[in-house]
């Protein structure tokens, strides 16, 4: 059974104890209703549009109860439709934040040497405040080599995708 959320609207400002959002609920490709959470610590509500849609939602509820339990922070969570909806929403928010961070890093790559552990939430950078292609090559090679020798150990690497550092040379790609 395919359960999806579409037309998600999230209000970070209204979120207090839980995420405040609304979305359309799709089951097996058919819009059957909507979901919402007021963001005040309560449950995520879902409603069907028609009696037929409510029957599809009941089938989805029964299906979700057959899914394996989830281990989270030392607790065992029994699956249900609400938990599936909340998980889909969290995946949406995570993907949106990741895309925003990738866009920010891509912009930073143009003017800075960015280094850190791949897929880690934090990184550091040395910003030249001008396009790296305008930095004299000897200066750029010096600073890249310095970053490599001082910081690139224990899984830390240069994260830039716009150049490579090979054999003491910077090669723009």
Question: Per-residue confidence at 143, pLDDT binned at 50, 70, 90?
Answer: very high
Q: Total structural domains in the chain?
A: 2
* pLDDT tens-digit series, residues 113-138: 999 999 888 899 999 999 998 999 99
Pair (82, 120) in one structural domain: no
pLDDT of 173 > 90? The answer is: no
In a domain, 105, yes or no: no
- 93 plus 116 within the same structural domain: no
Q: What is the pLDDT of residue 120?
A: 86
Tell me, yes or no, whether 94 and 118 share the same domain: no
Residue 63 domain-assigned (yes or no): yes
Res 139 pLDDT > 90: yes
In the predicted structure, residue 140 carries a pLDDT above the cut 90: yes
pLDDT value for 135? 93
Which domain covers residue 123, as residue numbers?
110-172
| DSSP H stretches of helix in 19-155 | 51-65, 81-109, 137-151
Within this chain, do residues 31 and 53 fall inside the same structural domain, yes or no?
yes
Query: Do 94 and 59 share a structural domain?
Result: yes
pLDDT digits (tens, 9 = 90+) for 56-86: 999 999 999 999 999 888 899 999 999 999 9
Asked if residue 126 and residue 60 are part of one domain, the reply reads: no
Mark whether 122 and 42 lie in a shared domain.
Answer: no
Residue 49: Cβ within 10 Å count: 14
- Long-range contacts of the stretch 7-10 (C-beta < 8 A, 24+): 8/89, 8/92, 10/89, 10/92, 10/93
Q: How far, in Å, CA of 68 to CA of 80, rounded?
A: 10
pLDDT of residue 124: 94
26 with 3: CB under 8 angstroms?
yes
In tens, the pLDDT along 12-60 reads 999 998 999 999 999 999 999 999 999 999 999 999 999 999 999 999 9
> Does position 172 have pLDDT exceeding 90, yes or no?
no
pLDDT number for residue 169? 83
């Amino acid at each position: 059974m395919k359960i999806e959320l579409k037309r998600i609207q999230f209000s970070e400002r209204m979120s207090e104890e839980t995420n405040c959002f609304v979305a359309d609920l799709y089951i097996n490709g058919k819009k059957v209703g909507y979901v919402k959470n007021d963001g005040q610590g309560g449950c995520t509500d879902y409603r069907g549009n028609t009696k037929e849609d409510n029957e599809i939602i009941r089938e989805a509820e029964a299906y979700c109860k057959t899914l394996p339990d989830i281990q989270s922070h030392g607790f065992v969570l029994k699956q249900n439709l609400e938990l599936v909806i909340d998980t889909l929403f969290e995946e949406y928010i995570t993907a949106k934040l990741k895309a925003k961070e990738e866009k920010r890093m891509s912009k930073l790559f143009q003017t800075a040497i960015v280094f850190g552990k791949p897929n880690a939430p934090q990184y550091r950078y040395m910003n030249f405040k001008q396009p790296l292609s305008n930095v004299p090559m000897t200066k750029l090679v010096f600073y890249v080599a310095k970053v490599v020798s001082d910081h690139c150990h224990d899984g830390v690497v240069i994260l830039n995708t716009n150049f490579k550092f090979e054999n003491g040379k910077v090669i723009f790609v």
